[in-house]
């Protein structure tokens, strides 16, 4: 269907972590996959911005122009007052699940499994989700800010991770795995980054992801560049190991995404066993968390980021999501601290 888009128009894309989509009631309105041609789109590229208005056949274009004229600039939201917060699963239960995954990895189970947890927050009053998107975009300019509203629910966040992008015959990926906190002192921050680059556990976790991503891309790539080692991807509050991959391909964006998802950055190794472990362990519906969000055009160009560092908002409630990659040698308390670090951006 994307191939039928008019030239110069981009559709917004989103999809769930699981191809079956979400079953839980809180994800109502977020199907397993969706493509949406917006009525009003602002596209900024290489210093130039254009406004794209999509008018259905037979409709009055003046109504769309009037809607565009009525749009307001986002505001920095007031910090909402938290009434309560609850961890699902509880920290003790999640750390027990991590310990079980570590033991399973040592006796032939999944070599890596990404286990997530949620923080459920009750607010004194609702917050405007797209003001939150604008705030996250301003605070995390190197991330991929995203938002989607459906009925009373909205998903908002700022993802650090590009799943895949394509422009012409060139594609790029930037898988992340392995994390550490930032420090306001430049020397301490430099040491934290150096320690992360040298950490055997972080590098082993990262290597699983890079190996799986390159194996998935090779059949589709005319050329593929894989750097000899990871680099640091620094964001406010957290830094990650990243390996920028790129090359040339004849495949369209969604073909590349279908080959890649779910990467071991959000699933595990081997994929089927890791997904089985996730389904039997986490105790909540991921919905679109760890799925994808982005845009594509008729030529098959576009970009997709993983749905990370986000929250599902519904009225006065917000559910925040974060995960950590568990391998042999992982320490449950350390993995819990890593998820706390990741929850901090939205919290």
Which residue in this structure is represented by tokens 């993983």?
Answer: 306
- Which residue(s) pair with 52 in the sheet? 41
Q: In degrees to the nearest 10, what's the CA dihedral of 22, 301, 248, 307? A: -30
Determine whether 132 is exposed, middle or buried from the number of CB atoms within 10 Å of its CB (0-12, 13-18, 19+). buried
Measured between alpha carbons, how far is 104 from 60 in angstroms, rounded to an integer? Answer: 61
Please identify every residue annotated as catalytic: 112, 161
Q: From start to end of 284-316, where are the E strands?
A: 292-296, 302-306, 310-314
Cβ-proximal residues to 335 (8 Å cutoff; 6+ apart), any chain: 95, 98, 115, 324, 326
CB atoms within 10 A of CB 13: 21
Q: Is 101 helix (H, G, I), strand (E, B) or coil?
A: helix
């Amino acid at each position: 269907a994307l191939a039928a888009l008019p030239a110069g128009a981009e559709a917004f894309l989103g999809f769930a972590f699981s191809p079956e989509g979400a079953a839980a009631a809180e994800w109502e309105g977020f199907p397993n996959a969706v493509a949406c041609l917006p009525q009003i789109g602002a596209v900024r590229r290489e210093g130039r911005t254009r406004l794209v208005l999509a008018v259905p056949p037979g409709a009055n274009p003046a109504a769309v122009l009037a809607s565009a004229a009525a749009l307001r600039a986002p505001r920095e939201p007031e910090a909402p007052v938290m009434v309560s917060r609850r961890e699902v699963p509880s920290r003790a239960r999640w750390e027990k699940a991590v310990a079980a995954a570590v033991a399973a990895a040592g006796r032939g189970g999944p070599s890596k499994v990404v286990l997530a947890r949620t923080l459920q927050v009750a607010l004194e009053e609702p917050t405007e989700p797209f003001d939150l998107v604008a705030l996250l975009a301003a605070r995390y300019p190197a991330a991929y800010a995203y938002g989607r509203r459906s009925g009373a629910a909205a998903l908002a966040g700022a993802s650090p991770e590009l799943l895949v992008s394509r422009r012409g015959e060139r594609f790029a990926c930037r898988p992340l795995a392995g994390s550490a906190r930032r420090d306001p002192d430049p020397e301490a921050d430099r040491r934290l980054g150096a320690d992360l680059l040298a950490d055997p556990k972080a590098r082993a976790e990262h290597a699983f992801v890079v190996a799986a991503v390159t194996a998935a891309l090779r059949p589709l790539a005319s050329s593929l560049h894989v750097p000899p080692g990871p680099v640091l991807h620094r964001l406010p509050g957290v830094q990650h190991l990243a390996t920028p991959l790129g090359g040339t391909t004849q495949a369209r964006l969604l073909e590349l995404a279908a080959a890649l998802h779910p990467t071991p950055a959000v699933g595990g190794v081997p994929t089927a066993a890791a997904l089985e472990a996730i389904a039997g362990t986490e105790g909540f519906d991921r919905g679109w968390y760890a799925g994808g969000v982005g845009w594509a055009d008729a030529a098959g160009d576009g970009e997709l980021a993983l749905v990370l560092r986000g929250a599902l908002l519904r009225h006065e409630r917000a559910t925040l999501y974060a995960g950590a990659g568990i391998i042999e040698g992982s320490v449950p308390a350390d993995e819990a601290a890593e998820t706390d670090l990741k929850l901090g951006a939205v919290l």
